[in-house]
């Protein structure tokens, strides 16, 4: 059990620090096998153990044990312990339901996770948690500092996860962005070694990023917006995210290079840096992704496009590819320097997104890609395959397939072979040009070669969006 608690503290308490290490170990000591413990506390402990089990060290040279059956078992145990938790309107219910959302997320059930996240938000608003109201004290005498932490975590993660699954946030636009107070999120660490230390700067960045997500979803992934307006919005969003990130007082969080100096850093510092850096790069990837796809279709269509617009679209496409390479390299290189447990769902999703972008770029630019860039992408995809070997979890197989197909396509390119058969995974489900995530099924492409610029853009957004078209 201690291993699962430590895995939880090294992973999920970074993006969602509801509890300090002292509180987690106290909860476990007071609750485990105690027939008189509170049912909500029991459920919380089971959920924490489930989250700890659904992690992996991603060791390249050894196989990690498949702990997913353990994670699912604890998740089921928690749900059976509090079967009516979603009908409770209390602070205890907020915490339990929110952790159920995290568990469903870690197990790859995105729909259930989104549902639980929305319920946690609604209960929070119903009890006035968003107003920092005084609510009933907990069995362990958590104070208002804990209440504020819970609300900030629920607010920022629900925004983030809703965006990831392509669904609207359950938070009303009238609910204000919460304030991150230093005294609420600073934690000096556990024991003499000061393990699991946390800073408020990390959470400040997460809240800042989360506040941008609704705007990005509404204004960028909206086919009603004209292309010229979108070009300016992308630039504005990119600048806003850069400013928030690079203005952080903690300069380690904004470092890009992974070198030998990493060995001199505290483990908790490295973990916080890792989590916020991949969040930042993922946002940049998502912002510029439509232009990667749009650029490919412009190359196949007979649409007249002014050079100024074409250059901006190509620049956005190139940026998307560069960020995909940087995201993959950062994940793999830092984990090779510092052995860190990671939630499998996050790492595989980030690497899947990056591999999808790279494979799309390969297929859509097969005749124009330079040897230097092709070899750089080759190295990234090869490293991705090696990194994921020996681990178990949601979406890992899809990511491996994408990386494999990218390597096969690049092999044909680098060896100057011609391959007229559509044999790769992406080729089979996306014809004639790759258009988005492998999880999105495209039945037909009805865009005419002479379609206007705005029509091409609107169709691109329809293809790339996970949200149902109205």
- In tens, the pLDDT along 411-470 reads 665 555 344 444 444 444 333 333 333 333 333 334 344 445 566 556 555 555 544 333
The answer to which of 27-36, 195-204, 256-265, 380-389 has the lowest mean pLDDT is 380-389
Dist. CA 267–CA 283, nearest whole Å: 25
Neighbours of 140 (CB within 10 A): 13
Q: Is the pLDDT of residue 27 over 60?
A: yes
Name the percent of the chain in helix, strand, coil, to the closest 5: 65, 0, 35
451 φ, ψ (degrees, to nearest 5): -65, 150
> What is the gyration radius of the CA atoms in the chain, in angstroms?
23
| Residues contacting 425, CB < 8 A, separation 6+ | 401, 402, 404, 405, 438
Rounded to whole angstroms, the Cα distance separating 214 from 162 reads 9
Structure tokens that stand for 215 in this block:
């705007």
On whether the CB atoms of residues 166 and 467 are closer than 8 A, the answer is yes
Collapsing DSSP states into helix, strand and coil, what is residue 343?
strand
Per residue in 326-339, pLDDT tens? 999 999 999 989 98
- Out of 53-62, 355-364, 373-382, 429-438, which region has the weakest mean confidence (pLDDT)? 429-438
Q: How far apart are CA 203 and CA 160, in angstroms?
A: 13
Q: Which residue has the tokens 């011609």?
A: 418
Closest CA to 359 of 387, 345, 380, 344: 380
Least confident range of 64-78, 183-197, 354-368, 414-428: 414-428
Least confident of 66-70, 217-221, 402-406: 402-406
The answer to whether 18 and 48 are in contact (CB under 8 A) is no
Calculate the alpha carbon distances from 276 to 50, 206, 211, 270, 404 in Å.
23, 7, 15, 10, 28
The two tokens of residue 96 are: 């339990």
| Beta bridge partners of residue 342, listed in sequence order | 56
Alpha-carbon distances, residue 462 vs 222, 263, 440, 458 (angstroms): 8, 45, 11, 6
User: How far apart (Å, rounded) are the C-alpha atoms in residues 59 and 389?
Assistant: 8
Helices (H), 82-195: 91-106, 110-126, 144-164, 182-185
Q: How many angstroms separate the Cα of 137 from the Cα of each of 45, 64, 92, 140, 184?
A: 18, 40, 9, 8, 17
Q: What is the pLDDT of residue 417?
A: 38
Work out the pLDDT band at 365, boundaries 50, 70, 90. confident
CA distance 404 to 38: 49
Rounded to whole angstroms, the Cα distance separating 422 from 50 reads 41
pLDDT at 426: 40
Residue 56 bridge partners (DSSP): 342
Query: What is the pLDDT, as a whole number, of residue 241?
Result: 94
Lowest mean per-residue pLDDT among 132-146, 274-288, 383-397: 132-146
Convert the pLDDT of each residue in 239-293 to its tens digit. 999 999 999 999 999 999 999 889 889 999 999 999 999 999 999 998 898 888 8
Which range has the top average pLDDT, 96-110, 129-143, 185-199? 96-110
Write b or e for each residue in 410-442: b if 16 or more Cβ atoms lie within 10 A of its Cβ, otherwise e.
Answer: bebbeeeeeeeeeebbbbeebeebbbbbbeeee
Other beta carbons less than 10 A from residue 220's beta carbon: 18
Q: Which residues make Cβ contacts (< 8 Å) with residue 165, sequence separation at least 6?
A: 110, 111, 113, 114, 466
Q: How confident is the model at residue 409 (pLDDT cuts 50, 70, 90)?
A: low
Closest CA to 345 of 2, 12, 73: 12
**Which comes out higher in pLDDT, residue 108 or 396?**
108
pLDDT over 90 (residue 96): yes
Residue 128: the pLDDT is 87
Question: Contact at 8 Å (CB) between 42 and 28?
Answer: no
């Amino acid at each position: 059990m201690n291993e699962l608690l430590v895995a939880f503290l090294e992973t999920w308490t970074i993006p969602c620090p509801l509890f300090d290490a002292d509180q987690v170990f106290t909860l476990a000591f007071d609750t485990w096998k105690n027939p008189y413990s509170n049912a909500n506390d029991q459920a919380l402990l089971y959920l924490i153990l489930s989250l700890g089990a659904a992690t992996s060290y991603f060791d390249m040279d050894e196989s990690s044990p498949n702990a997913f059956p353990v994670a699912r078992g604890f998740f089921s145990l928690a749900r059976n312990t509090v079967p009516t938790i979603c009908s409770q309107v209390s602070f205890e219910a907020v915490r339990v339901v929110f952790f159920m959302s995290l568990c469903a997320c870690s197990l790859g059930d995105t729909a259930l996770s989104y549902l639980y996240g929305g319920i946690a938000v609604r209960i929070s608003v119903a009890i006035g948690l968003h107003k920092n109201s005084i609510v009933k004290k907990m069995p362990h005498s958590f104070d208002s500092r804990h209440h504020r932490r819970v609300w900030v975590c629920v607010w920022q993660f629900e925004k983030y996860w809703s965006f990831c699954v392509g669904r609207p946030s359950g938070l009303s636009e009238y609910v204000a962005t919460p304030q991150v107070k230093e005294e609420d999120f600073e934690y000096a660490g556990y024991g003499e070694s000061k393990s699991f230390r946390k800073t408020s700067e990390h959470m400040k960045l997460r809240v800042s990023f989360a506040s941008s997500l609704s705007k990005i979803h509404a204004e960028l992934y909206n086919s009603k917006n004209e292309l010229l307006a979108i070009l300016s919005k992308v630039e504005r969003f990119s600048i806003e995210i850069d400013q928030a990130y690079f203005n952080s007082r903690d300069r380690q969080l904004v470092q890009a290079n992974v070198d030998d100096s990493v060995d001199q850093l505290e483990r908790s510092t490295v973990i916080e840096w890792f989590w916020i850096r991949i969040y930042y790069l993922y946002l940049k990837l998502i912002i510029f992704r439509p232009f990667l796809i749009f650029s490919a279709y412009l190359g196949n269509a007979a649409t007249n496009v002014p050079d100024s617009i074409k250059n901006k679209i190509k620049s956005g496409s190139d940026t998307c590819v560069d960020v995909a390479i940087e995201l993959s390299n950062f994940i793999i290189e830092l984990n090779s320097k510092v052995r860190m447990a990671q939630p499998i769902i996050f790492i595989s999703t980030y690497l899947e997104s990056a591999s999808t972008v790279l494979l799309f770029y390969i297929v859509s630019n097969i005749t124009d890609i330079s040897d230097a860039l092709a070899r750089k992408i080759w190295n990234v995809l090869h490293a991705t395959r090696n990194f994921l070997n020996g681990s178990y979890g949601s979406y890992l197989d899809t990511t491996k397939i994408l990386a494999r197909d990218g390597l096969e396509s690049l092999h044909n390119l680098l060896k100057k072979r011609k391959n007229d058969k559509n044999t790769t995974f992406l080729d089979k489900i996306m014809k004639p040009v790759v258009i988005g995530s492998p999880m999105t099924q495209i039945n037909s492409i009805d865009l005419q070669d002479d379609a206007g610029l705005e029509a091409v853009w609107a169709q691109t957004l329809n293809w790339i969006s996970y949200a149902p078209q109205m």
